[in-house]
């Protein structure tokens, strides 16, 4: 079977990710196919809404398939990754700005590239198994695929916390942070999908909405807002170390697994976007980092440690939060000039 199944069913344009053994990891070809379908359906009167789901119980999509990026990057070819990211980001923007309802069903792991496909539509549905996260700092990237937009518009300082630690969110927490809209028990998903396909009426989602199981972020908000209020990564790391609570100790440990340059740039991106975030502004800033990530950041080393050698012992460019300088951040986030992300097709 192909990695993705795209078809029209009833009143819906339907996209099903079909790589369950790979946790539906998103390939470059899948990105291009999704984008082409969205373009084709935008003006199709037979398509009232878009339905995005995935096969398997473990994951909607656990991230991007980055093996080819690693292979090309280690060979000194940075163009493949840049093309992948640019095309993926255009697809993310198209989903966020789509003129028709987009309903996504997010079971299990929804991380990284999965957030880009599943968390920008108008009706984002989570169930009991939801585990949503942006763990990119742990592989030398920043929260991308429009994730920085969601983080910058999350309540309080949840964006800094979720973006730098990669903390996983269950259903209630994903809704609170802005990654999802509706909790629908997973036993009801097949009936809801059938209703959407038959009627093309996205209002059917709200009719099935139910209270999610209690999350953890709401109770932690005051502490997160206080400890993650610093202007820089070093400020936040110091606040966590000085607090010494179980939460702070755990957050500091998670922060310690992130590439310092990535975490520092994530904080700066959220600060720049907050109060004026749009999906295109966020994707443009993300692309400034990812365009440079193989050559000037820790992406290659992060993938080596996590995916290739699996030694979980990355050797980051910076020894810790205090080692990242303002000029290091600016080097990654300065405008790209002629290489800037375009939202028009190349």
Task: Report the catalytic residues.
Answer: 64, 113, 136, 144
169 SS3 class: strand
Q: How far is CA 329 from the centre of its chain?
A: 21
The DSSP annotation for 173-193 comes to HHHHHTS--EE--GGGHHHHH
Question: Cβ distance 167 to 254 under 8 Å?
Answer: yes
In our burial notation (b when 16+ CB lie closer than 10 A, e otherwise), range 76-110 reads eebebbbebbbbbbbbbbbbbebebbbbbbbbbbb
Work out the angle between the directed axes of helices 246-256 and 217-227 (0-180°, nearest 10): 70
Q: What does DSSP assign to residue 211? A: P
Torsion angle, alpha carbons of 240, 243, 248, 254, to 10: 30
Q: How far is CA 136 from the centre of its chain?
A: 8
202 vs 165: CA distance, rounded Å = 34
172 vs 213: CA distance, rounded Å = 6
Question: Cβ distance 143 to 116 under 8 Å?
Answer: no
Q: Which of 9, 1, 217 is nearest to 103 (CA)?
A: 9
> E-strand spans in the chain?
4-9, 12-17, 49-54, 59-61, 102-106, 109-111, 123-126, 131-133, 182-183
User: Which DSSP helix (H) or strand (E) runs through 105?
Assistant: strand 102-106
Burial of 245: CB neighbours in 10 Å, binned 0-12, 13-18, 19+: exposed
61 vs 49: CA distance, rounded Å = 21
């Amino acid at each position: 079977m192909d990695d993705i199944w795209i078809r029209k069913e009833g009143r819906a344009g339907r996209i099903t990710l079909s790589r369950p053994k790979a946790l539906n990891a998103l390939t470059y070809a899948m990105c291009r196919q999704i984008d082409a379908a969205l373009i084709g359906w935008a003006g199709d009167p037979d398509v009232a809404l878009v339905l995005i789901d995935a096969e398997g119980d473990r994951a909607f999509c656990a991230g991007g398939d980055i093996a080819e990026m690693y292979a090309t990057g280690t060979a000194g070819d940075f163009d493949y990754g840049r093309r992948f990211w640019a095309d993926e980001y255009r697809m993310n923007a198209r989903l966020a700005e789509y003129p028709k309802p987009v309903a996504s069903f997010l079971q299990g792991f929804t991380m990284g590239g999965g957030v880009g496909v599943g968390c920008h539509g108008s009706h984002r549905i989570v169930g009991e198994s939801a585990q949503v996260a942006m763990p990119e700092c742990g592989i030398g990237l920043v929260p991308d695929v429009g994730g920085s937009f969601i983080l910058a518009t999350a309540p309080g300082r949840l964006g800094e916390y979720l973006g730098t630690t990669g903390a996983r969110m269950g259903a209630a927490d994903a809704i609170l942070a802005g990654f999802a809209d509706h909790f629908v028990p997973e036993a009801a998903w097949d009936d809801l999908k059938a209703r959407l396909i038959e009627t093309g009426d996205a209002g059917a989602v709200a009719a099935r909405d139910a209270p999610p199981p209690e999350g953890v972020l709401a109770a932690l908000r005051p502490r997160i807002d206080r400890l993650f209020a610093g202007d820089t990564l070093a400020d936040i790391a110091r606040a966590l170390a000085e607090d010494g609570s179980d939460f702070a100790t755990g957050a500091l440990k998670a922060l310690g697994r992130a590439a310092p340059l990535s975490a520092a740039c994530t904080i700066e991106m959220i600060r720049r976007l907050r109060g004026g975030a749009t999906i295109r502004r966020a994707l443009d800033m993300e692309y400034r980092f990812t365009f440079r990530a193989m050559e000037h950041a820790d992406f290659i080393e992060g993938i080596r440690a996590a995916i290739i050698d699996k030694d979980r012992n990355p050797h980051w460019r910076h020894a810790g939060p205090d080692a990242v300088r303002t000029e290091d951040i600016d080097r990654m986030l300065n405008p790209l000039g002629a290489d800037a992300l375009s939202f028009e097709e190349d």
